[in-house]
């Protein structure tokens, strides 16, 4: 089988990390007789330099038509402060990444947080705080609506005069002279239902408990969310579930013995909590993630970490998060043998004590550059 996937190599150090991930994924897929054809899809400031647009129309078309995107990451402060200040509509986080999420209907964002007991020292937490069986959580972030898309979605619904009264402004329209800027955050009942049916099914299939994160004590959209969770939960009597307020969920990231299984959270909460969780299990460099449309099963594979712009061009960034994201891509297209091989190889190099600078501890076997780390992983799966 041949599978075509749009490849956004991205900005900053992302292209260096993606170069490693791409060759590893291509090799690993052969274990399942899958030939992956990556289709170059420029987005980000690199695309602006070549084509005058951080999201050229053709790139968006390629991504949406192929329905599968391997996304390295976009954004670079060097450009944000110069061209971005003059042309805020070109900021690639919204123009490329958020637009893809919305156009492709990527509702569920899976962010696994895994730490094996033997690698407990990768965590900044004291070893006794790490559970005996290690950490194994899957954050499922609700990736649409909420404060990320509220204003934009509502501006299509309310008349301009009302929008003006409400102080609704898109980021690109903020001048600094306004007296009021407000942003809408909303959830649609049907979307919450769909999201929780998928999240509960996932928890059931994996035999895991589910924690729903909210702020139902003060926010209407989360009081609504909580009522829907209780209703959908009745369809899944096998899954044990609980509600957790977001502030205390944040605190539990420091007590992983009390938090496990599926963590279902809103868009903005999920963005914030997942960075904390990633740091807890070893660092952003290991973060990996996939975003899925539950109706079409189209998907984007994006690590969720930044582009490490300060390391760009130095071959120092940690490619392991992008490589693990590649394993998620393979699993999604049923190339399970390849996915398992990659995960095993990454685990092995870490167990053998190889590190990149971001995760190196005193006394580790060897600190490697980005391409050396990629090479080591690749050799294990050849
Ligand atoms: C993430 C990132 C994005 C987000 C940014 C780059 C827009 O932080 O995927 O977590 O906020 O969703
Ligand atoms: Mg984030």
Average the pLDDT over 76-93 and give the result. 94
Strand partners, 354: 366
Distance 254 CA to ligand 2 centre (A): 19
CATH number corresponding to 1-105+299-382: 3.40.718.10
Question: Which of the residues 48, 148, 195, 222 is marked catalytic?
Answer: 148
Q: What is the pLDDT of residues 34-56, one digit of tens each?
A: 999 999 999 999 999 999 999 99
138 vs 153: which has the higher pLDDT: 138
Least confident of 108-112, 168-172, 361-365: 168-172
Residue nearest to atom 12 of ligand 1 (CA): 271
Average the pLDDT over 22-42 and give the result. 98
Ion ligand 2 — residues with CB < 5 Å: 271
Class of domain 107-145+187-295: alpha beta
Task: For residue 295, indicate whether it is catalytic.
Answer: no
The mean pLDDT value of the chain amounts to: 96
- The pLDDT of residue 166 is above 90: no
Average the pLDDT over 296-325 and give the result. 97
- The pLDDT of residue 164 is above 90: no
Average the pLDDT over 83-105 and give the result. 96
Average the pLDDT over 276-298 and give the result. 97
Residues near 90 by beta carbon (within 8 Å), at least 6 away in sequence: 48, 53, 54, 83, 84
pLDDT of res. 165: 81
Average the pLDDT over 239-247 and give the result. 98
- The pLDDT of residue 160 is above 90: no
- The pLDDT of residue 170 is above 90: no
- The pLDDT of residue 155 is above 90: no
Q: How far apart are CA 154 and CA 100, in angstroms?
A: 19
State the pLDDT confidence band at 156, using cuts at 50, 70 and 90: confident
pLDDT of res. 131: 95
Question: What distances in angstroms separate CA 96 from CA 56, 205, 232, one per listed residue?
Answer: 9, 33, 33
Average the pLDDT over 100-125 and give the result. 95
Give this prediction's pTM: 0.96
Average the pLDDT over 165-182 and give the result. 88
**Contact (Cβ atoms closer than 8 angstroms) between residue 314 and residue 372:** no
Cα–Cα nearest to 133, from 151, 112, 119, 147: 119
pLDDT of res. 42: 98
Residues carrying CATH 3.40.718.10, the chain: 1-105+299-382, 107-145+187-295
pLDDT of res. 158: 80
Cα–Cα nearest to 327, from 358, 289, 365: 289
335 lines ligand 1 (CB under 6 A): no
Residue nearest to atom 7 of ligand 1 (CA): 93
Q: What is the β-pairing status of strands 290-292 and 108-115?
A: antiparallel
Least confident of 114-128, 157-171, 254-268: 157-171
């Amino acid at each position: 089988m041949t599978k075509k996937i749009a490849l956004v190599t991205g900005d900053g150090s992302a292209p260096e990390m993606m170069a490693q991930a791409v060759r590893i994924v291509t090799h690993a897929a052969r274990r399942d007789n899958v030939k992956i054809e990556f289709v170059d899809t420029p987005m980000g400031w690199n695309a602006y330099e070549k084509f005058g647009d951080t999201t050229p129309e053709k790139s968006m078309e390629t991504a949406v038509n192929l329905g599968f995107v391997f996304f390295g990451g976009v954004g670079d402060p060097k450009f944000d402060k110069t061209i971005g200040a003059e042309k805020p509509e070109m900021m690639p986080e919204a123009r490329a990444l958020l637009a893809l999420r919305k156009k492709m209907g990527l509702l569920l964002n899976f962010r696994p947080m895994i730490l094996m007991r033997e690698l407990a020292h990768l965590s900044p937490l004291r070893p006794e705080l790490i559970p005996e069986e290690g950490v194994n959580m899957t954050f499922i972030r609700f990736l649409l609506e909420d404060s990320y898309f509220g204003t934009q979605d509502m501006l299509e619904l309310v008349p301009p005069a009302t929008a003006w009264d409400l102080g609704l402004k898109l980021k690109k329209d903020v001048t600094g002279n306004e007296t009021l800027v407000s942003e809408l955050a909303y959830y649609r009942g049907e979307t919450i239902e769909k999201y929780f049916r998928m999240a509960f099914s996932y928890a059931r299939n994996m035999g895991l408990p589910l924690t729903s994160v909210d702020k139902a004590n003060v926010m209407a959209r989360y009081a609504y969310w909580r009522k829907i969770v209780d209703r959908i939960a009745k369809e899944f009597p096998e899954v044990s579930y609980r509600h957790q307020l977001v502030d205390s969920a944040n605190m539990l990231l420091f007590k992983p013995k009390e938090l496990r299984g599926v963590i279902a959270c809103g868009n903005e909460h999920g963005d914030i909590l997942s960075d904390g969780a990633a740091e807890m299990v070893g660092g952003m460099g290991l973060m990996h993630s996939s975003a899925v449309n539950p109706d079409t099963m189209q998907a984007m594979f994006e690590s969720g970490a930044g582009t490490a712009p300060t390391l760009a061009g130095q071959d120092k960034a940690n490619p392991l998060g992008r490589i693990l994201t590649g394993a998620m891509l393979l699993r999604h297209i049923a190339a399970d043998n390849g996915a398992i091989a990659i995960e095993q190889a990454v685990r092995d190099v870490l167990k053998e004590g190889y590190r990149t600078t971001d995760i190196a501890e005193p006394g580790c076997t060897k600190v490697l550059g980005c391409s050396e780390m990629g090479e080591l992983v690749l050799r294990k799966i050849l």
